[in-house]
Amino acid sequence: MYKLLIVDDEEEIREGLADMIDWSSLGFLVAGTFQDGKDAIYYLQEHEVDAILTDIKMTFASGLEIARYVAEHKLNAKVVLLSGFQEFVLAQEAMKYNVTHYLLKPTDLDEVSATFQKIYRQLEEEKKQIEQNWKQRQQYKTLLPMLLEQFFFNMMVGGAWGHEEIHRKLQQLGLPIHPDEGKCSIMKAEWSRPDLAARSPERRSEEIHALSVAITKEKDQVYYTCIHLGDNRLLIVAAAMGECTYDEFAKKNEQFFIHIQKSLLSLLGMSIRLDRHKVYPSLRELLHQRDFVEWGVTAADNGLSDLKELAIGVLTMMRDELQESDLEGAIRELREMQEKQPIIEWCRKMFVSVPDKESGSPENERAIIRQAKQYISEQVERGLSLSEVSRYIHLNPVYFSRLFKQETGETFSDYVTGLRMKKAMDYLRDPQYKVYEIGALIGYKNTKYFHKLFKRYTGYTPSEFRGK
């Protein structure tokens, strides 16, 4: 229920509005009634409400003053003014305070109800948008360690990005870091735990992800990024988000590493040891240093093995973007390579960033997506995987997955599901098809799973949809 205040200096109108409208059926709860705007403003200082229905003219504080208070204090409350004809100029003035509606006296209860039905829908839409924005922020926070690791990984395997490209990519990641401003450092470390050898590959993958989440963050105006080198070695890149001296920056790095040591030991039972620490004048200076690439690629005696493990570490971080079969296939393909240069080329293709629509060759990319959509549309009624479609259009699965999401606004899986549900609705409109047959017709062998997806997509079971 959304909370509502009713404010009017005429008791009959005030109590009539509170009692004669079925507010609960409209989705509102009357949180309070007041005879003057002054009392309402006092209430707003201590309580949150979603809507205010108020007379525009009252003795001490008018409805206009309530609207101004709401606007100036940025309260999330919809204001509806009740106005007589003679106060029409005041009602016009109230518009600058984002008053939602104004109603003329004498009050028509049906009109009040209709107005608050609209407000309820508006509040629901705003609530949904807030929830969606929160989910997107959470998803971004989850993906950020992976995105940053990919950014530095591309540089480590020789990504030829110029100054402007590096700056643009940092802005895309939402990081207030300039390549030429602020100190930067790199720390080479090794982590371990007593039962490391006994850990399953799945468990190690989870621990690698946990390490990235624990390390990749902003602390004391320095942004830290974890880069896995394979096995149990890692790099930590630190970039200052503002000006500081060499000594100040080095001390912040040291304090952060000590903090990470304590956190990993207490929460995950891991110990981490710092092997090397070097400070550079700027991020750009670091990215163009030969030892940055060498630390990532030839840190161990066996450079080939090390490069493979580095790539697999980043690939594992991308498991949410890939189907399990695609992830296993990519790792298998990588492990079979026996020379460094093919691995580096493979890495560049696998982890290449999806270009913005303003850059690159957008027309070609859109043509590729149209080609993929055409193929999906033709094959959607049978089992269809991201791997199969990416092979058909000759793109790497990871690249295709991100390109598809950028161009369509949907993940590959959501897009395919949406097409299948639309096909199912078409079949359900045709009485010659039995409900229990339709799931199989669009590629779902499990009828219960099809019913569950259909209800999630439409809000109805297949039988309910047919009966509409």
Q: What is the largest CA-CA distance in the chain?
A: 88
Question: In this model, does residue 348 exceed pLDDT 80?
Answer: no
117-131, 244-258, 428-442: range with lowest mean pLDDT = 428-442
Among 32, 38, 72, 35, smallest CA distance to 52 is for: 32
Q: How confident is the model at residue 270, as a pLDDT?
A: 86
Superfamily for the 362-467 domain: Homeodomain-like (1.10.10.60)
- Give the model's confidence band at 22: pLDDT under 50 very low, under 70 low, under 90 confident, else very high: very high
Q: What are phi and psi of 398, to 5 degrees?
A: -65, -45
Q: How confident is the model at residue 160 (pLDDT cuts 50, 70, 90)?
A: very low
Query: Does the pLDDT at position 355 exceed 50?
Result: no
Average of per-residue pLDDT across 92-107:
78
Average pLDDT value for residue range 363-388: 76
CA neighbor of 145 nearest in space, from 319, 347, 317: 317
Mean per-residue pLDDT of the chain = 78
Q: What's the pLDDT at 48?
A: 93
What residue ranges of the chain are covered by domains with CATH 1.10.10.60? 362-467
- Give residue 248's pLDDT: 92
Statement: residue 115 has pLDDT above 70: yes
pLDDT band at 143 (very low <50, low <70, confident <90, very high): low
- The pLDDT, as a whole number, for residue 29 is 95
Residue 19 has pLDDT above 60, yes or no: yes
Tokens describing residue 98:
């984002």
Distance CA 25, CA 112 (A): 13
What pLDDT score was predicted for residue 287? 67
pLDDT at 363: 43
pTM of the entire structure?
0.42
Work out the average pLDDT over 383-400: 74
> What is the per-residue pLDDT across 6-15, written as a single tens digit (0 to 9) for each?
999 988 889 9
More confident residue, 450 or 180: 450
Looking at domain 157-351, what is its CATH homologous superfamily?
A: EIF_2_alpha (3.30.70.1130)
225-273 pLDDT, tens digit per residue, is 888 776 678 888 898 888 889 899 999 999 999 999 998 888 888 888 8
Token pair listed for 387: 């791997």
- Please give the C-alpha separations between residue 121 and each of 27, 53, 459, in angstroms, as whole numbers: 10, 17, 18
The DSSP code for 182 is: S
pLDDT band at 311 (very low <50, low <70, confident <90, very high): low
Q: Please, where in the chain does CATH 3.30.70.1130 lie?
A: 157-351
Could you report the per-residue pLDDT of 42-62, keeping only the tens digit for each? Answer: 999 999 999 999 998 888 888
Is the pLDDT score of 410 beyond 60? yes
The span from the CA of 165 to the CA of 168, in Å, is 5
* CB 225 within 8 Å of CB 339: no
Residues pairing with 23 in the sheet: none
pLDDT of residue 349: 56
Asked if residues 80 and 67 have their Cβ atoms less than 8 Å apart, the reply is no
pLDDT at 56 (0 to 100)? 86
Instruction: Provide CATH 3.40.50.2300 ranges for the chain.
Output: 2-127
Model pLDDT, residue 2 = 94
Tokens of 99: 């008053």
Q: What is the reported pLDDT for 111?
A: 92
The fold of 2-127 is Rossmann fold (3.40.50)
Instruction: Label residue 434 by pLDDT band (50, 70, 90).
Output: confident
Mean of the pLDDT values across residues 205-224?
83
Q: What angle do CA 247, 145, 262 make, to 5 degrees?
A: 55
pLDDT at 456 over 60: yes
